[in-house]
């Protein structure tokens, strides 16, 4: 799977989707730039989310709040005091790690041993092998499992009680070594705040310490009454937003899965106190269905319900996606109670209450939030779509089978040769279609090469103009996924493309 992941990263670079930030200066770790095709794909994902959340829900509106916020915001939200990860340094290698990740990686190695045992047994028993039974009855496997459970639960307890000494003791007891150098010479574990600080103002004595927002949600909470009043919103209603967030992540790996600058697509849904768990269940299902509708395979999603809850939540779950490196969080759905609004009331001394006409009563609404990482969703879609196919004639092709609605380029218009009036005919089609779709005109290279290039960036349609086109006003339409080719009258093109790319 590591090879598959490397392949995904190199394809993203080679075809203009994602570049390392500041590459000419050897890059910046966990920061990435989207190239010409990546920006289109990312925009299409944003629009697809915005349409589903804002446009199609009459009780959800969208805003765009600033990245800079008054510093008290982060005191009220709990980020100044509690947005920490446990950090540990290796004294010899001088490398820095997240203590919990070191422990989780250790457990993953034991998991790998379980997998090996299962594989061996499967070979030994052949058809008669019952994996579920083997895992629950084989002594060694059962012991491995118990060990993992006990390590992880000890870690969770120590982190919960902020007993960082116990986390360090666990690392020593397990004899976990620096992955790079093998050294076991560790420092103490300490808490590390993930917010980036900066300054606002020109002179040293008037400058104000600010943070780059680590989540977009707080911009919605502080605007709750502004939007409710000016939009005459009635509870239950939601406020949505797409925007950048910044976290000084300690482990920077897994490409755009964990970035220091990333984008979130969040929606905070304001409800009557007491109805929040009902809405929480409803939004869990709604969001899962939304993901499944993308067509990446229903088996690639699962819920992970949280047992350990954040300080602001009374229920929380992740929608996990099967990335090339396993099932991992894609979206979080949290029942945040009235924690944020009440806390902003306290810190600002401004009332953030809603008058409910039906109940004839003022209250601070409860909040159910859905929060998905745009870049993570990009990675899910991109990695799931990239396929190396063996064709019937023995040749191979790489195809990015993106959902057509999200593809950067919807159709490529290709004159078979660069002469005899074919380019002019093709350009006319191009100029007609570009008003409605992001299309591309391409005349360089052989037609086979051009098809392959379009497959690799996920273009659902290729439109080829040949000599016959000049007489019958028809073209060859090639479908990306099936590679099927069809003769189509030029005036039909727009309708066919439209049907496929508007979901």
3-state class (DSSP) for residue 18: strand
CB atoms within 10 A of CB 193: 19
Burial of 58 (0-12, 13-18, 19+ CB in 10 A): exposed
Provide the minimum distance between the beta carbon of 107 and ligand ATP in the complex, in angstroms, as a whole number: 16
3-state class (DSSP) for residue 337: strand
| Closest CB to ligand ATP among residues 259, 400 | 259
> What's the CA dihedral at 455, 457, 463, 464 to 10 degrees?
-60
Helices 139-160 and 164-173 sit at what angle, rounded to 10 degrees? 150
| Closest CB to ligand ATP among residues 61, 313 | 313
User: Which residue in the shown chain puts its C-beta closest to ligand ATP?
Assistant: 373
| Closest CB to ligand ATP among residues 74, 461 | 74
CB atoms within 10 A of CB 394: 6
Provide the minimum distance between the beta carbon of 273 and ligand ATP in the complex, in angstroms, as a whole number: 23
Provide the minimum distance between the beta carbon of 23 and ligand ATP in the complex, in angstroms, as a whole number: 19
CA-to-CA distance for 234 and 61, rounded, in angstroms? 12
Binding site for ligand ATP (CB under 6 A): 215, 247, 249, 258-259, 262, 264, 329-332, 371-373, 375-376
Binding-site residues: 98, 215, 247-249, 257-266, 329-330, 369-376
CA-to-CA distance for 343 and 353, rounded, in angstroms? 12
Binding-site residues for ATP: 247-249, 257-262, 329-330, 373-376
Provide the minimum distance between the beta carbon of 247 and ligand ATP in the complex, in angstroms, as a whole number: 5
Is the four-CA dihedral 399, 404, 410, 412 of positive or negative sign? positive
Binding-site residues for substrate: 98, 215, 262-266, 369-373
Cα–Cα nearest to 406, from 464, 457, 477 = 457
CA-to-CA distance for 130 and 98, rounded, in angstroms? 38
| Closest CB to ligand ATP among residues 238, 373 | 373
3-state class (DSSP) for residue 276: helix
| Closest CB to ligand ATP among residues 318, 466 | 318
CA-to-CA distance for 139 and 426, rounded, in angstroms? 69
| Closest CB to ligand ATP among residues 261, 443 | 261
CA-to-CA distance for 477 and 493, rounded, in angstroms? 8
Strands 439-441 and 461-465: unpaired
Provide the minimum distance between the beta carbon of 197 and ligand ATP in the complex, in angstroms, as a whole number: 17
| Closest CB to ligand ATP among residues 375, 500 | 375
Provide the minimum distance between the beta carbon of 501 and ligand ATP in the complex, in angstroms, as a whole number: 26
Residues forming beta bridges with residue 353, ordered by sequence position: none
Provide the minimum distance between the beta carbon of 484 and ligand ATP in the complex, in angstroms, as a whole number: 36
């Amino acid at each position: 799977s590591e090879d598959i992941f490397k392949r995904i990263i190199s394809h993203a670079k080679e075809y203009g989707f994602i570049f390392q930030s500041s590459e000419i200066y050897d890059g910046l770790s966990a920061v990435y730039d989207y190239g010409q095709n990546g920006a289109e794909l990312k925009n299409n994902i944003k629009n697809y989310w915005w349409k589903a959340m804002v446009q199609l829900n009459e009780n959800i509106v969208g805003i765009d709040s600033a990245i800079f916020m008054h510093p008290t915001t982060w005191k009220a939200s709990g980020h100044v005091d509690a947005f920490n990860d446990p950090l540990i340094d290796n004294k010899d290698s001088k490398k820095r790690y997240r203590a919990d990740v070191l422990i989780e990686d250790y457990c993953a190695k034991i998991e790998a041993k379980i997998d090996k045992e299962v594989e061996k047994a499967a070979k030994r028993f052949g058809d008669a092998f019952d994996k579920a039974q083997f895992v629950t009855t084989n002594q060694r496997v059962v012991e491995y499992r118990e060990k993992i459970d006990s390590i992880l639960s000890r870690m969770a307890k120590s982190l919960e009680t902020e007993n960082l000494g116990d986390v360090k003791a666990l690392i020593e007891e397990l004899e976990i070594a620096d992955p790079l150098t093998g050294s076991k010479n560790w420092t103490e574990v300490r808490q590390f705040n993930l917010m980036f600080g900066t300054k606002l103002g020109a002179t040293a004595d008037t400058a104000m310490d600010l943070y780059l927002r680590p989540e977009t949600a707080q911009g919605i909470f502080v605007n709750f009454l502004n939007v409710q009043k000016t939009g005459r919103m009635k509870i239950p209603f939601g406020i949505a937003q797409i925007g950048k967030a910044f976290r000084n992540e300690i482990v920077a790996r897994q490409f755009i899965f964990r970035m220091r600058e990333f984008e979130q697509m969040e929606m905070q849904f304001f409800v009557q106190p007491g109805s929040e768990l009902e809405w929480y269940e409803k939004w869990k299902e709604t969001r899962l269905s939304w993901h499944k509708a993308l067509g990446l395979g229903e088996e690639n999603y699962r819920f992970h319900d949280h047992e350990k809850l954040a300080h602001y939540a009374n229920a929380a779950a992740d929608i996990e996606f099967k990335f090339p490196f396993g099932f991992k969080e894609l979206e979080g759905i949290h029942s945040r109670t009235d924690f944020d609004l009440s806390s902003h009331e306290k810190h600002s001394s401004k009332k953030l209450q809603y008058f409910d006409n039906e109940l004839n009563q003022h209250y601070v609404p409860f909040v159910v939030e859905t929060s998905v990482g745009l870049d993570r969703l990009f990675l899910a879609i991109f990695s799931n779509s990239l396929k190396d196919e063996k064709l019937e004639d023995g040749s191979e092709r790489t195809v990015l089978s993106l959902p057509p609605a999200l593809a950067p380029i919807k159709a490529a218009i290709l004159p078979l040769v660069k002469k005899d009036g074919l380019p002019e005919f093709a350009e006319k089609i191009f100029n007609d279609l570009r008003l409605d779709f992001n299309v591309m005109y391409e005349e360089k290279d052989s037609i086979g090469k051009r098809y392959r290039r379009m497959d690799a960036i996920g273009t659902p349609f290729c439109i080829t103009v040949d000599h016959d086109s000049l007489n019958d006003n028809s073209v060859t339409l090639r479908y990306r996924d099936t590679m099927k080719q069809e003769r189509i009258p030029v005036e039909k093109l727009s309708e066919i493309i439209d049907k496929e790319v508007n979901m």
